[in-house]
Amino acid sequence: MANINSTFCDGYARRDFLRIGAAGVLGTQLSLAGLLSGSARAASAAKDKSLIYIFLKGGLSTIDTFDLKPDAPIEVRGDFKGIPTNLPGVHVCEHLPRVARVMDKFSQIRSFTHRSSDHGPADHYMLTGFFPSAGFNGGLKPNNQHPAFGSVLAQKLGPRGSVPPYVCLPGMHPSGSSAYLGAAAVPFVIENDPSAPNFTVPDLAPPMLIESNRLAARRELLAQVDRYQKAAETAANAGARNVSVFSQRAFDLMTSPDAKRAFDLASEPDKLRDDYGRNTLGQSCLFARRLVESGVRCVTIDHANWDTHDGNFNTLKGALLPKLDAAMSTLFRDLSERGMLDNTLVLISGEFGRTPKINKNAGRDHWGPCFTVLMGGGGVQGGRVIGASDKWAAQPAHTPYGPEDMAATLYHLLGLDPQDEMHTAEGRPMMIANSGRVMKELL
C-alpha cells in the first residue's frame, strides 16, 4: 500500500523527502549536520518506545472474533454474529462490544500464517520470530533455542532507570526467556496473579521493610566478602557471574523508589481497575501499562487457556471474550488518554488460530495456516486491515505475513535494525530477526 506519509528507515516521511528535494532544486541550502541530527532524534525516539505483548496461550479463535465468515456454511461460520465497529464496513464478534469502539486504535493482519499447528514450536515461533530447529523439545525447557523479543530488547537497549527492561507476568512462558543471551537479558518474572486481593511482588516486599542505608551497609559487607571469592573464580565460571548479575539487579530493585511505585498496582483507582476487569488478564494489562509508564521496555503477558478444542463457543462467550473485551479496550483507551499510545506498541496474538471447520465436540482445533494478529500503537497506523483470508479463513487470500515479518516490524518500530546481530556464548553471530520483511502497510 503506497503512502506518501510513510517513513523511510531513517525516520523521514516520504512527504518530507519530497520537500527536501524541492528545496534543493530551488537553491535552499540544507545542513548535513541538521539531517544527521534529525536522523539521530528519530532513532532516539524509536528507542524510547516500549512493547506490550499479550500472548493468548492456546490460540485465539480469530475466525470467531476478528475475521468472521458470515456467508460460510454453519459448520464453518459458527454461532457468533458480527456487529459494526467504529470503522466503516469492519465488523467484529458480538461478544466484543467494547473492542468495537476502539478498532481505530489498532490494525489487523488477517493473512498471518506459519508452518506449525503444535503448541511448543508455534509458541517459540511467535515469541521469538524463529522457527525451532530439529531437537526442539516442545517448549518445556526454560531457555529455548532463541531469545524472546523482550530479551533482545533488554540486551540491545538495556534498562531505563532502575526498573527491569523486560518483565513477564503472571509467570514466564518457557519460550519467553533469554536463551543464549544469558543472565543479563532474562526477564523479571512476576509469578503471582495481579488480580489476587493480597497481590504483592515477592522479590520486592521483604526489602521494603529495610531502610536503604541499612541495605547499603549490607551491600558493602557483601562486597568485602566478594573480594576474597573473586580470587578463586575463573573466567569460565559463568554461574558465579550470573549470580552477580542477579544480585545487582535485586539490589537496584530493592532500593529504588521508582521501582516500588511501578510495582504498586494497588495505587490505581478502583474505577480504572474495574474497567480493566478484576481478573488475571485485566489486571495484567493494567500492570503492563504501569510498567511501561515507569520505563520497562517490554512486558509479556502470558494468558491461558485459549485452547478451545471442546465447547469453543460456550467457553469464548462465557469465560474468555468478556475478559478480553474489557482488558483490550481499556488498555488502548488508557494508553491513548495518557498520551502513551504513540510510544507503546501493543501486540495481541495466540500461537496460531483455530480450524475453519468445527469439530464433533463443538470446538475448533489448532490451525497455523491462517489467523489474525493485532498490532497497535508505537508507530502502527490504527484502523487498517492488512491482507485477507480466503472464504473459510483456511489460507491467506493474499499478502501473507508470518512471524519473521512480525519480528522485523516490531524491531523496526522499536528502534532496532532487524539485520543487526547478537552473539551466542561461543561468539557465533545471530541476526536478531530471521530475514523478515517490515510490514510497511502498517506504518
Domain boundaries defined on the chain: 1-47, 50-200+263-442, 202-248
- Pairwise CA distance, residues 213 & 83, whole Å: 59
Q: First-to-last CA distance in the chain?
A: 10
How wide is the angle at C-alpha 400 spanned by C-alphas 412 and 10, nearest 5°?
20
Phi-psi region of 388 (alpha: psi -120 to 50; beta: other; left: phi over 0): beta
CA 107 vs CA 286, 311, 332, 376, 386: distances in Å: 21, 29, 12, 6, 7
Number of helical H runs and strand E runs in the chain: 14, 16
443 residues of the chain, pLDDT tens digit each: 434 343 433 343 433 333 333 333 333 333 444 434 454 555 556 669 999 999 999 999 999 999 999 999 999 999 999 999 999 999 999 999 999 999 999 999 999 999 999 999 999 999 999 998 866 665 444 346 899 999 999 999 999 988 999 999 999 999 999 999 998 899 999 999 999 998 988 766 444 444 545 545 555 545 544 543 444 443 344 444 555 555 566 656 666 788 888 899 999 999 999 999 999 999 999 999 999 999 999 999 999 999 999 999 999 999 999 999 999 999 999 999 999 999 999 999 999 999 999 999 999 999 999 999 999 999 999 999 999 999 999 999 999 999 999 999 999 999 999 999 999 888 899 999 988 999 999 99
Give the residue from 362, 442, 384 showing the smallest Cα distance to 409. Answer: 442
What are the backbone dihedrals phi and psi of residue 235, each rounded to the nearest 5 degrees, phi first? Answer: -65, -25
Q: Is 200 helix (H, G, I), strand (E, B) or coil?
A: coil
CATH number of 50-200+263-442: 3.40.720.10
Q: What are phi and psi of 58, to 5 degrees?
A: 115, -30
184 near 164, Cβ under 8 Å?
no
Task: Summarize the chain as % helix, strand, coil (round to 5).
Answer: 40, 15, 45
Query: CA–CA separation, 3 vs 5, rounded Å?
Result: 5
CA 261, chain centre distance (Å)? 22
Contact 102, 346 (CB under 8 A): no
- How far apart are the C-alpha atoms of 306 and 129, rounded to whole Å? 21
Q: Supply the angle between the helices 280-293 and 321-337 in degrees, to the nearest 10.
A: 20
Distance CA 154, CA 102 (A): 30
- Helix or strand (DSSP H, E) at 422: strand 421-423
Rounded (5°) CA angle 293-323-279: 70
Q: How many Å separate Cα 125 from the centre of its chain?
A: 13
Q: Is the dihedral of CA 137, 353, 298, 256 positive or negative?
A: negative
User: What kind and span of H or E run contains 259?
Assistant: helix 257-262
Instruction: Give, to the nearest 10 degrees, the angle between helix 212-230 and helix 238-254.
Output: 170
- Read off φ and ψ for residue 337, nearest 5 degrees: -65, -25
In sequence order, what are the residues at sequence separation of 6 or more whose Cβ sits closer than 8 angstroms to the Cβ of residue 404? 129, 130, 433, 434, 435, 436, 437
For 441, the grid coordinates are: 502497510
